[in-house]
Amino acid sequence: MDSEKALGDIRILDLAGPMGLYCTKLLADLGADVIKIEKPGGDPSRWMGPFFHDDPHPEKSLYWFNLNTNKRSITLNLETVDGRKIFKKLLKTADLLIETFPPGYLEKKGLGYSMMKEINPGLIMTSITPFGQTGPYKNYRAYDIVGVAMGGLMFFGGSPEDPPNQPGASQGYHAAGLSASEASLIALHHKDMTGEGQYIDVSMQESVANCLMWTMPFYDLRKAITTRDGRCVTSPRPFPRISMAWYDLFPCKDGWVVGHGVAGAFSGGLEAWDKLIDWMDSEDMAGDLVEDEWRVLAEQLGDAAYLHTLMVSDPEGFTNMVAKKDHIDRIIGNFLMTKTKLEIYDTVQPWRIPTTVIQTIKDVVKDPQLEARQFFVEVEHPELNATVTYPGMPYRLSETPAKIRRRAPLIGEHNQEIYESELGLSPTELAGFKAGGVI
């Protein structure tokens, strides 16, 4: 038991593929002892890119590095009788088992939850699958893109003139891993209190659906369907796009910025508007926006109550008015093209114009806020003669900080440590299992 780690008293067996590796990584970073069980030769996820120096090699996958920090690795062939026997020994020492096989697979191998519970009555088992363990789609397969499509997230991504667009960077897998991690910890808490284990059934589809918070009540109450309009926050039909001025993505001199309305509910109101127009006017780029008419309009466009009343009482007047946002945005847009993204951000933030830079990956790495908080951390990879800079932790716990204590394991790096020192296999037995393809 290690009181410096949040989960220092927890052991987890990791039989997960891409859909679940993130779940066990989160728990390992918090301090749990996670044993990654790989098939002899290494887990297939080791072949997923990107790779260190673009060299495809099972010990050089950055994808693997990221998802397996702090874990220990053993190799074990569960397809063999001896492999399953060793697995059962290991099972006795575990609090939690996490797996992502298709429903029924482990059952067929004689390793279903009911059987494992006989060996370890307090065991918690978390199964992560695309659609859950039961139901009409339980046997359906899904990679990330199918999960985000079936979970409803993809429907909103993209411009109206293009096909729906997948959000970048495996959102479905990550969402499933996060949900599973949460569920496992809830069950661990229950086990701490009562000694009782349980079975957890996680669905990637539902994990994704839980990222749709705003849009679902609209359908539920009004049968209104939010449309695909990736530039602005989408509004469910029959409502127009949010009409506040500068509520959109804008190109600028060296990239893109995004605004959340210059004179609306979330901003500094007319005072912010005046400062912006003064700035533009000082460079002769405010056009007719200096006129009072546009000032009044900007305020009205940011006033949801006013617009709501107008929409009901005078639909035509409402449509005409909302269309004027385009004129304001065109002039602001022309001005922003003459400025860099940081100039814009630094200038208008203090005026309470909610705006930010649409950061590239490079911008994120150089972000001064992240730098000041020392978010990125260096991790030694002695085998590569390299120190790699990793993104840091998602949260900061004062007494038991989550952190990367050790780089991801090499294939079977902890075979000896775990099989000999912990399970008590003799070197001869170990050699025999190796020769037999069990380890």
Among positions 323-362, residues that touch other proteins (CB under 8 A) are 349, 352, 354-362
**How many whole angstroms separate alpha carbon 362 and alpha carbon 33?**
33
Q: β-strands 33-38, 72-75: how paired? A: parallel
Whether the CB-CB separation of 242 and 272 falls below 8 Å is answered with no
Q: Compare residues 156 and 433 and give the one whose CB is closer to other proteins.
A: 156
The footprint of other proteins on residues 287-306 (CB under 8 A) is 304-305
d(CA 59, CA 70): 15
Positive or negative torsion for Cα 262, 231, 152, 49:
negative
Q: Are 35 and 12 in contact (CB under 8 A)?
A: yes
Of 35 and 185, the one with the shorter C-beta distance to other proteins is 185
Q: Out of 195, 238, 368, 424, name the contact with other proteins by CB under 8 A.
A: 368
The nearer residue to other proteins, 198 or 416, going by C-beta atoms, is 198
Instruction: Give min distance, CB of 352 to other proteins, in A.
Output: 8
Supply the angle between the helices 171-194 and 21-30 in degrees, to the nearest 10.
50
Closest to other proteins by CB, 274 vs 367, is 367
Residue among 286 and 298 whose Cβ is closer to other proteins: 298
Contact 69, 406 (CB under 8 A): yes
Nearer to other proteins, 278 or 306 (CB): 306
**Which residue number, 119 or 211, has a Cβ lying nearer to other proteins?**
211
Residue 190 binds other proteins (CB under 8 A): yes
Q: Using CA atoms, how far apart are residues 150 and 141, in angstroms rounded to an integer?
A: 11
200 lines the binding site for other proteins (CB under 8 A): yes
Find the shortest distance in angstroms from Cβ 265 to other proteins.
4
Residues 86 to 125 in contact with other proteins, rule: CB under 8 A: none
Q: Which of 307, 336, 344, 438 binds other proteins (CB under 8 A)?
A: 307
Distance CA 100, CA 147 (A): 14
CB closer to other proteins out of 152 and 432: 152
Which of the residues 158 through 187 are near other proteins (CB under 8 A)?
158-159, 162-171, 174-176, 178-183, 185-187
Site for other proteins in 224-243 (CB under 8 A): 224-226, 230-234, 236, 239, 242
- CA nearest neighbour of 355 among 253, 271, 280, 248: 248
Q: How far apart are CA 83 and CA 412, in angstroms?
A: 14
Please report whether residue 192 would count as binding other proteins according to CB under 8 A. Answer: yes
> Which one of the spans 72-80, 137-145, 274-282, 416-424 is the region binding other proteins (CB under 8 A)?
137-145
Site size toward other proteins (CB under 8 A) is 161
Determine whether 362 is exposed, middle or buried from the number of CB atoms within 10 Å of its CB (0-12, 13-18, 19+).
exposed
Kindly identify the residues of this chain, within the stretch 34-63, that bind other proteins according to CB under 8 A: 48-50, 52-54, 62-63
Which segment (6-14, 72-80, 83-91, 290-298) binds other proteins by CB under 8 A?
Answer: 6-14
Least Å distance, CB 140 to other proteins, is 5
Q: Whose Cβ is closer to other proteins: residue 64's or residue 419's? A: 64
User: In terms of C-beta distances under 8 Å and separation of at least 24 residues, what long-range contacts does 344-348 make, across chains too?
Assistant: 344/252, 344/257, 345/257, 347/279, 348/272, 348/275, 348/276
Select the residue interacting with other proteins from 57, 85, 396, 405 (CB under 8 A). 396
User: Quick one: 365 exposed, middle or buried, by C-beta within 10 A (0-12, 13-18, 19+)?
Assistant: middle
Q: List CB contacts of 253: < 8 A, sequence separation 6 or more.
A: 337, 338, 339, 340, 341
Based on CB atoms, which residue is closest to other proteins, 225 or 290? 225
Task: State in angstroms the smallest separation of the CB of 251 from other proteins.
Answer: 8
270 makes contact with other proteins (CB under 8 A)? no
Nearest approach in angstroms of CB 297 to other proteins is: 18
Nearest distance in Å: CB 61, other proteins:
9
Alpha carbon distance 101, 64 (integer Å):
19
User: What pairs with residue 73 in β-bridges?
Assistant: 36
